[in-house]
Amino acid sequence: MQNLDPRSIILLAGIMAVLMSVVLFFLRRNYPPSIKGLTEWAAAPALVFVSTLLLGSRGEIPDFLSIVVGNTVLLVGLTVLYFGSQRFFGLAPSVRLWSGAVLAGVAVLVWTHVEPHYGNRVLVMALLMSLISFSHLRLLLLHGARGFATYLTALALLIQTIAQAYRFAAALGAPADDTLLLLSPAQTVLVTTYAICMMMVTIGVILMATEKLRAEFEHLASHDSLTGALTRRALIDACEQELERGRRKQHPMSLLMLDLDHFKAINDTHGHLVGDRVLVEFVARVTALLRRPDHFGRFGGEEFVALLPETSPAEAMIVAERIRFEVAAAPQPACTVSIGAASSDADDTSLDTLLARADAALYEAKAAGRNCIRQAA
């Protein structure tokens, strides 16, 4: 550490930042567009790299470039990183607010360049960097998933906030002469802390993007890509688990098998795009009528199954009638639904038995003229 002066640490931080920028750039190219914010996350470390080159070249290039431009690019990089996190969580970036804050900081930087004063420059930089880090930390705590990636990123931002707050307090009595590159324990610790925290944040956002990608793959594996309902396999798994739980606790379980009436005619008359929209709206309407513990899945084509845990036969008929009425009241193109209901009992040794009884009740509803409900014996 004795031979590692602040200039070297700043340049090392820039090298680490640009390497992380390359990683994030390739993630952006290969990840689905549903994962937002990767463009900003990739651009931010690259901006930090440019700023470290300028800041680390103090004395080798004009002071305006190393002081004003270098600090400005650093502020922009940290702000863009924050914007990326806002987009990642589905929020609109607060561009107007932080653009104004950065422009105010630039004005002070220009003033301290014209009237050189190191302490005033550190005050404004430490204040803005601590505010950005704190806002970023607050965003993660409010919207981030509870997991290692979020906690790692939040920890780095917390340390950065505390370090910059300390730097702000220390700058209150700082001299006018420039002491950034002076070799001192406090200066070395602050610059090293910044470098480590920046690396931790970039690693953290990479892990956050990876976790979100994995969650999307898991969702796609268990949900129908068109309607968002559970897939047949996922629903069967949920039904088997609930049937076993019902046996242990002696609670009833009901199934509703639903089939959209004359759905082929809708496709033939209005086209498959309209047919797809009818399916999506049907699932949305039915899901809105179900409870949180209930499950709704697509068995194939226009046939769906609703799993109703701890639901008696009479209660299942009430739910089925609500669904039938809601679907029939939907706007054009007109569509109705036939429903077969079945509830578990002691004789149901497997899920297939229960599904067979619900399917038989569904065919009875179709034979009775459709747009009606039948309950299995």
Locate tokens 């307090």: which residue? 169
Catalytic residue flag (residue 302): yes
Would you state the structure tokens that stand for residue 188, as one six-digit string?
């070395």
Give per-residue pLDDT as tens, 289-313: 999 999 999 988 889 999 999 889 9
pLDDT higher at 71 or 4 = 71
For the cut 60, the answer to whether the pLDDT of residue 4 exceeds it is no
∠ CA 342-344-347, rounded to 5°: 120
Chain segment 99-132, per-residue pLDDT in tens: 999 999 999 888 887 877 777 788 888 899 999 9
- The pLDDT value recorded for residue 352 is 87
Q: CA geometry: angle at 235 spanning 230 and 239, to 5°? A: 150
Sign of dihedral through CA atoms 161, 163, 166, 168?
Answer: negative
> pLDDT confidence of 183, banded at 50, 70, 90?
very low
Task: Say which residue, 329 or 81, is predicted with more confidence.
Answer: 81
With cut-offs at 50, 70 and 90, classify the pLDDT of residue 148.
Answer: very high
Tens-digit pLDDT profile for residues 28-39: 888 888 889 999
CATH 1.20.1070 maps onto the chain at 6-222
Q: Please, what is the average pLDDT of the chain?
A: 85
Q: For the chain, how big is the Rg over CA atoms in Å?
A: 30
What is the percentage of the chain residues whose pLDDT exceeds 70? 91
> What architecture (CATH level 2) is domain 6-222?
Up-down Bundle (1.20)
324 versus 116: the higher-pLDDT residue is 324
Adjacency order of strands within the sheet including 295-300 = 295-300, 303-309, 253-260, 337-343, 373-375
Q: What is the pLDDT of residue 123?
A: 85
Q: Within 13 Å and on the Cβ side, how many CA atoms surround 319?
A: 30
| pLDDT > 90: percent of the chain | 39
Q: Which CATH number fits domain 232-375: 3.40.50.10490, 2.40.50.140, 3.30.70.270, 3.40.50.1980?
A: 3.30.70.270
Query: Which residues lie closer than 8 Å to 213 by C-beta, 6 or more apart?
Result: 31, 32, 35
- Give the model confidence (pLDDT) of 211-234 as tens digits: 988 888 888 888 888 888 999 999
* Nearest CA-CA partner of 44 in 26, 21, 67, 69: 21
Beta bridge partners, 260, equal: 337
- 158 has a pLDDT exceeding 90: yes
Q: Which of 62-66, 185-189, 242-246, 286-290 has the highest mean pLDDT?
A: 286-290
Catalytic residue among 302, 303, 326, 364: 302
Q: What is the mean pLDDT of residues 270-293?
A: 89
* Of 247 and 343, the one with more pLDDT: 343
Q: At what angle do helices 185-222 and 232-249 cross, to 10 degrees?
A: 90
Mean pLDDT of 159-167: 89
The whole-model pTM stands at: 0.72
- Burial level of 273, CB count in 10 A (0-12/13-18/19+)? exposed
Mean pLDDT over 57-82 rounds to 89
> Residues spanned by CATH 3.30.70.270 within the chain?
232-375
